[in-house]
Each structure stands twice: as C-alpha cells, then as structure tokens.
Amino acid sequence: MIDATQIRKGMIIVMDGTLYRVMEMQLITPGRWKAMVQTKLRNIQVGSQIEHRFRSEERLEQAHLEEIEMEFLYQQGDEYYFMNLENYEQVTLTLEVIGDAVKYLKPNTVIEVELFEGNPVGVNLPKSMDLKVVNTEPRLQGATKTSLYKPAVLETGAVVQVPEFIKEGDVVRVDTRDDTYLERAKAK
C-alpha cells in the first residue's frame, strides 16, 4: 500500500479490483483544505480513461508486476509478436498493452514486458534508442547560428525535433521517455 502522494506517472495501481495505469498526476494544495492528488488513469483491460481525485492521506494498492525481457519480432495487423528471451516462447501483445511505445518498435528491439498475474499489462522501452532518420528537411544555408530544431521522421515512424545539422540517413539517439533528441549516434 502507498499514500496517494506517492503516485507517479506510469505506475500501475489497483482500484476496485481493476488495474489502472497513471497517465498524469498533479498534487493540488488548495488554500485551507488538505492536499489532493488529481490523476488521469487508463483502465488497462478496457483502455478507457478516467479522471480521479484522491485525498492525500488515502492509501492505494500498487500492482506488483513481473518484468520479463522480450524481443520484438514483427507486427501483423493490430497484433505485435514478441519472443521471451529466457524460454523462447512467443507472446502476442495488442496495441492497448503496448501503448505509445509502439512508435519506437522495430524488429530485434529488446524491451521489458510487464506481467500482472501472468497477463501482459504494459511494456518498458530502453531509456534511449539509436534510430535512423528517414525524412527531414535539408539544412538552410545562411541560417543564423542560433539553435534551431526541425522535425525528423525516424525509421519507426516516430517524429522527433532534431538540430538543423541532422540530415537523412543520420543515426540519432532519442530519449524514449519524452521523445527528445539526445545526440548524433554512430551508424551500426
């Protein structure tokens, strides 16, 4: 059990026997009243989102998850196929389970799959990934020397803001937690 003030984005909690992933969390401290925690929660089984306000002293059950490393193999329609690296068993995950991580999936990517009572409920990407730029605007000649960013489409389809010196074919390191450019990486 945890206090409502210990809730963090990405955490999975159990409420009324249902699993919810915390999408957003904000601590509100109105004038004379006690603090409250305003959250946006996504029902993991159904995919629907709700807003819920917890009192700061309220106790919540945090879901205890098992994390298993799996390798992404391929996608077929709305199903994504992964292989457990320990026993080579194949597992199929849906878009609801993968969520926003889908924009960084490419074959042979190793990720952690979160299981609750043996059922997949979410995935964790590596903190950063090296991805190839497949489409971006060319650098403007004579542009000022200020730090300018431009959109770049990566090999997985994700769009990230990159510095203007990045060109098509470059490999960039991206922070998967907030979709930001970190640095130019060496091509493999």
Q: Are 56 and 37 in contact (CB under 8 A)?
A: yes
Average of per-residue pLDDT across 76-97: 90
Residue boundaries of the structural domains of the chain: 2-62, 66-124, 128-185
**What is the C-alpha separation between 72 and 90, in angstroms, rounded?**
10
Beta bridge partners of 25: 39
Same fold, 2-62 and 66-124: no
Got the DSSP string for 49-100?
EEEEEEETT-EEEEP--EEEEEEEEEEETTEEEEEETTT--EEEEEHHHHGG
Which region holds residue 166: left if phi is over 0, alpha if psi is between -120 and 50, else beta?
beta
Topology given in CATH for the domain delimited by 66-124: OB fold (Dihydrolipoamide Acetyltransferase, E2P) (2.40.50)
Of the candidates 106, 82, 109, 94, which has an alpha carbon nearest to the alpha carbon of residue 158? 106
Q: Position 14: which residue type? A: V
Given the candidates 1.10.10.10, 3.40.50.140, 2.40.50.140, 3.40.50.300, the CATH classification of the domain at 128-185 is 2.40.50.140
Residue 81 confidence (pLDDT): 94
Q: Are 72 and 82 in contact (CB under 8 A)?
A: yes
Each residue's pLDDT tens digit, 26-62: 988 888 888 889 999 988 877 788 999 998 888 989 8
Q: Position 123: which residue type? A: V
The two structure tokens encoding residue 111 = 């990720």
The answer to pTM > 0.75 is: no
By the 10 Å C-beta count (0-12 exposed, 13-18 middle, 19+ buried), 128 is classed as middle
| C-alpha radius of gyration, the chain, whole number | 20
Q: How confident is the model at residue 160 (pLDDT cuts 50, 70, 90)?
A: very high
Each residue's pLDDT tens digit, 93-123: 988 888 888 999 999 999 999 888 888 888 8
The two structure tokens encoding residue 85 = 């690296």
Given the candidates 3.40.50.970, 3.90.1150.10, 2.30.30.30, 3.10.580.10, the CATH classification of the domain at 2-62 is 2.30.30.30
